[in-house]
Amino acid sequence: MDKDAIITKLTKQAALLLERVRQLEQENTMLKEKIAQLEKNSSNSSKPPSSDIVKPLKILRQPGKKHNRGGQYGHTKFSRQPFESNEVDEVIEYELKDKDAVGLKPLDEWFVIQQIELPEKMYKVVEHRARKYLDLVTGKIHIAPMPNNIRKGGLFGADITAAVAFMKGSCHMSYTTIQQFFKELFELDISRGMLCKATQKASRSLRPAYEQLVERLPTERQIGVDETGHHDEGRLHWTWCFDTPDYSLFRIDKSRGSEVLERMLGRDFAGLVCADYWGAYRKYARLFDVRMQYCMAHLIREIRFLAEHSIKKLSRWGNFLLEWLKKLFKTLHSRNKLTAKAFLHSMEQIKNGFLSRVRRPPDHALAKKLARRFRGKTAEDYFRFLTEPYAEPTNNGTERRIRPVVIDRRITQGTRGQAGMRWCERIWTTLATCKKQHRNVFKFIHQSLLAHWTNKCYPLFL
């Protein structure tokens, strides 16, 4: 065969092989990207823990290191304090019979076991009677006045109504479960409709306290914000949580956009908003020049995803960024050991080192996308906690407040109408705020019902 023909043939084969190699490299890159997306979990992304398909492997303990159940050696023992004498309803004494006590001197001391028991009857029925009077002139019937709380309460008094609201809201119990509770423990047959009416009465009584917080919200100096899904009659809504140092406010809305922030906080909000990097927060900050503190925990999870990536240049860059953030939080946790000047100097150096590194991303779309956040004013929105005295570097507090809402959603499967959504907003706000203020939830609901039925001053949170 002619030499030129051989060269031409081999050249064509080489070109085909190079094209094939290029196609395989593209396919390999695509597969790596898909694998990386599948490996996303709650530890390296903003996905919730419930979305993790595979749970992490349990760490096996070394042989011989097994701990016994209960209190451990070297730990302080905590025991429940006994009831005071004025809290004891009945005292039963046990003594030896005369023949068994021969030769023994009785002491003025007792071995005591305090036992809590349920009463034989779990409720009492009070019949309220208002006498009727006949007007001999007109023939009309007049009824003696009855207290408002009796008329408006109906079958359930304020305490039982508050108990139903507590079970429904705090205990995440369905109406069927509450119905069974009354039947088995109280031996009372209560319809689901009656239980539903009780929660709506509680909802209306909590409205003044809720609206007080709504009015107060735009004046706060710091607010953490987060949102989660909510279904009403099968349609997707969003539960927003606005968390402050003194209270937590929940709002259910059809939108997940910046218009909710505009309605709740206003256009002239002068405080600091701590949130994740969701677009609604960025738009709200851009439109109304609002100061932001973007959550560092969300940023760390995104960088950890890059650090665990199969593409080496991404993994290397992600690990460099994680090292800077580790230094940042190590210094933050050592704040009390440093002078104010030394602390700010160290944090400024770490901040500049991180920004210098993050602004030089490798040639990859994921890295460039992350780097774009730190090219403008947004970079400062990650580090406001260094100069703002009340700012938190993460939004973890708000996420903890919203966790019971997620649990309730999974148990109840959402609501069916405006009344149900308003009930959820008010009871979730009451539960979270009472916990934050160390107040008794049941007592707060009970006092709200009495105030609502008697037109007296409502208990408020502020």
User: What is the number of structural domains in the chain?
Assistant: 1
Summarised one tens digit per residue, pLDDT across range 415-450 is 999 999 999 999 999 999 999 999 999 999 999 999
Structure tokens at 12: 């064509």
pLDDT at res. 47: 60
| Of the candidates 397, 429, 424, 395, the residue with the CA atom closest to the CA atom of residue 412 | 424
- Residue 228 belongs to a domain: no
pLDDT at res. 41: 66
- Residue 325 belongs to a domain: yes
pTM as predicted: 0.84
Kindly state the helix (H) or strand (E) to which residue 261 belongs, with its residue range: helix 258-265
Least confident of 76-80, 225-229, 419-423, 424-428: 76-80
Question: What value does the mean pLDDT take over residues 91-103?
Answer: 92
- Residue 320 belongs to a domain: yes
| Of the candidates 89, 92, 93, the residue with the CA atom closest to the CA atom of residue 117 | 89
- Residue 301 belongs to a domain: yes
pLDDT at res. 20: 85
Q: Three-state secondary structure along 279-321?
A: HHHHHHHHHHCCEEEECHHHHHHHHHHHHCCCCHHHHHHHHHH
Strands 222-232 and 235-243, bridge-based pairing: antiparallel
Question: What value does the mean pLDDT take over residues 362-368?
Answer: 94
pLDDT at res. 245: 95
- Residue 405 belongs to a domain: no
- Residue 368 belongs to a domain: yes
In which residue are the tokens 């007296």 written?
456
Under DSSP, the state recorded for 433 is: H
Confidence of residue 50 (pLDDT cuts 50, 70, 90): very low
Question: What value does the mean pLDDT take over residues 8-28?
Answer: 83
Higher pLDDT, 337 or 225: 225
Q: What rounded mean pLDDT belongs to the chain?
A: 90
Report the percent of the chain where pLDDT is more than 70.
Answer: 93
Confidence of residue 153 (pLDDT cuts 50, 70, 90): very high
- Residue 329 belongs to a domain: yes
- Residue 64 belongs to a domain: no
Range of the domain at 371: 296-394
Position 305, amino acid:
F
Confidence of residue 53 (pLDDT cuts 50, 70, 90): very low
